Amino acid sequence: MHRRQKPSSPEHKRDLEAHGGALSMSHNDTRSFFNFSQLVLSAGNLKTPPLLKHSKITYFEVEILDVQSKKQICIVDKVPPSSTLLDVKHKFHKACPQWYPSRVGLQLECNGPYLKDSINIQSLAVSSIITLYFTDLGQQVGWTTFFLTEYTGPLVIYLLFYIRLSTIYDQVESKKNFRHPVVHLACFCHCLHYIRHLLETLFVHKFSEGHTPLKNMIKGCIFYWGFTSWIAYYINHPRYTPPSFGHRQVSLAALAFLMCEAGNHFINVALAHQNHSGLKACFPSPTYNPFTWLFLLVSCPNYTYEVGSWISFTVMTQTLPVGIFAFLMVIQMSLWAQKKHKLYLKRFYPEVRRKAAMIPIIF
């Protein structure tokens, strides 16, 4: 038999109400926590502001001293590790406007070599303070300006003598005397030589960084312009006497001159397109061009061809001023070749060790 359920007592009702209220409160708390979590997630990740992060970049201070008095000139501060010496020179120029970057020479030691502009400042650092010694290099000019000025003068000066200005030669004597063909040929060869130099300066040569003192350009101009005036005066003089062996001497010498000019050009092109593939540069090797085969015998064939041009020009014109100029060029070119040959021995020893500098056996 089934028992009839008794109506709930008042205490039992209160227990049920209390239990139901607790369930409703816990449910509301869960919904509130869920809504707060969604709000936090929608706001994005909470990050520390960038300004509060500690910087790990180390800056250097470059102390610049005078090389003579050892007194401090200025301090270039906050130099980043990635800066080059040229960047330091620009900051030094801002502090001392009278010394622009190309005029500033910086050394690690008083008697040490000048540091290159491309060197990284971090490679010089032993501590956070770097001490460099300053030398005023004087007024500077770029290498392109240097060579263009040096080679334009001889070209113009020779043409002024070739047209026989009335202020240089006697006009009556100039009209009376007939010009030998070698005079016209000499003008052509001389102009060709310096036009080649000018075009190679603009389109072939790759000059090293930096500048050269203005006084060097002045000395070079005095040398080249002065000798050109002396040479051109004698060759274009109305009383100029042609070579002793006549047409044969002139023709052979002119042919040798043109060959040396062509060889000089092709060697300069080869040096400008020197192979720099890989980690180590390679010394230029001879190609199918016969003018580059001189690389097999000498390390500086451009100087060999340059000397050959002036010796050929001396034989062609048979004049004393050209002979003296050619002799001085042989001395100068041999000195430059020896200096460059030593550098080649350090960089390309296996390839250059059995070669002469400029002329086989002699140099």
* DSSP H helical ranges for the chain: 10-42, 85-95, 143-162, 171-176, 181-203, 214-235, 246-272, 301-317, 320-347, 349-352
pLDDT of residue 345: 86
| pLDDT value of position 209 | 65
Instruction: Specify the pLDDT at position 20.
Output: 47
Neighbour tally for 253: CB within 10 Å: 23
Q: Would you call 189 helix, strand, or coil by DSSP?
A: helix
What's the confidence (pLDDT) of residue 29? 53
pTM for the structure as a whole: 0.78
Whole-number pLDDT of residue 344 = 86
Q: Identify the pLDDT of residue 38.
A: 54
CB 357 within 8 A of CB 300: yes
pLDDT, averaged per 10 consecutive residues of the chain (363 residues), comes to 46 48 48 52 49 61 93 92 92 92 92 90 89 93 94 97 91 84 97 98 84 93 98 95 95 98 96 64 84 93 97 98 98 94 84 83 57
pLDDT score at 52: 40
> Burial, 208: exposed, middle or buried (Cβ in 10 Å; 0-12, 13-18, 19+)?
exposed
Q: What is the rounded distance in angstroms from the CA atom of residue 89 to the CA atom of residue 95? A: 10
Q: Are 138 and 212 in contact (CB under 8 A)?
A: no
List the structure tokens of 55.
Answer: 């910087």
User: What is the β-pairing status of strands 60-66 and 129-136?
Assistant: parallel
pLDDT score recorded for residue 6: 46
How high is the pLDDT of residue 166?
87
Q: Tell me, what's the pLDDT at 355?
A: 86
pLDDT at residue 23 in the model? 42
CA-wise closest residue to 192 among 292, 271, 260:
260
State the Cα torsion 46-52-58-61 to the nearest 10°. 160
Is residue 360 within 8 A of residue 351, CB to CB? The reply is no
Residue 161: exposure state from Cβ atoms within 10 A (0-12, 13-18, ≥19): buried
As a whole number of angstroms, the distance between CA 79 and CA 141 comes to 28
DSSP string, 62-85: EEEEETTT--EEEEEEEE-TT-BH
- Confidence at residue 34, expressed as pLDDT on a 0 to 100 scale: 52
Q: Is 97 left (phi over 0), alpha (psi -120 to 50) or beta?
A: alpha
Q: What angle do CA 132, 138, 141 make, to 5 degrees?
A: 110
Alpha carbon distance 204, 269 (integer Å): 6
pLDDT of residue 351: 76
Which pLDDT belongs to residue 32?
56
Q: Which domains does the chain have, with CATH numbers?
A: 60-138 (3.10.20.90), 139-240 (no CATH), 243-362 (no CATH)
Q: What is the pLDDT of residue 238?
A: 93
In this structure, what is the dihedral angle of CA atoms 278, 339, 309, 160, given to the nearest 10 degrees?
110
